[in-house]
Amino acid sequence: MPDPIPKKLPPQKQPFTMRGYVSALCFAGLVLFLIGLGFDSVLRAFGIGIAPWFEAFWSAFVGVVVSFFVARLFWRMGLVTFPQYMLGAFTIMAPIAILSFIPVAQLFGNTIALPWLSETASDHHAIALTIYIRLARAVILVPVFLGAFTWFYHVHLGMEPEK
């Protein structure tokens, strides 16, 4: 008599499902948000003023929205391993991290408050330091996002990208 509960198929046999894909992206976005909150709290402990909840939310939101469209494009190009994900993601996320001060500036001002930056420093120095901090966040948070997505999608769900 056949088993009424289907067993989990091996990874090479799992079909692509949009539900699993979206679940993995949401899981990675949640992990990114929580790690981003912690990272921003550490920055605030050192006196670097950053809007903690908004920066973390912005990182998670952009990561999920951009990845929803870009990951499937990467798969069609043949990028399926974690190092290939990293290479592809940094080509996308580095410009987004640099330009992220534009929407954030609408709510919280154009620059990040730094304790060692005096009132007399030029705006160019403040904006450059802001961009460096955003790039540092991207360098740390992009691997976190990709690692969470890769683990959830490929290991936990045992899925394979569509070919």
In a domain, 161, yes or no: no
Domain membership flag for residue 110: yes
Instruction: End-to-end CA distance of the chain: give it in Å, rounded.
Output: 34
Residue 6: inside a domain: no
State the pLDDT at residue 3: 47
9 within domain boundaries = no
The total number of structural domains in the chain stands at 1
For residue range 36-46, list pLDDT tens digits in order: 888 888 877 87
pLDDT reported for residue 5? 45
Record the pTM. Answer: 0.70
Whether residue 150 lies inside any domain: the answer is: yes
Q: Domain range spanning residue 127?
A: 16-156
Q: Of the ranges 15-24, 30-39, 105-114, 129-138, which is most confident?
A: 30-39
Residue 139 lies in a domain: yes
CA atoms within 13 A on the CB side of 11: 12
Instruction: Identify whether 3 is part of a domain.
Output: no
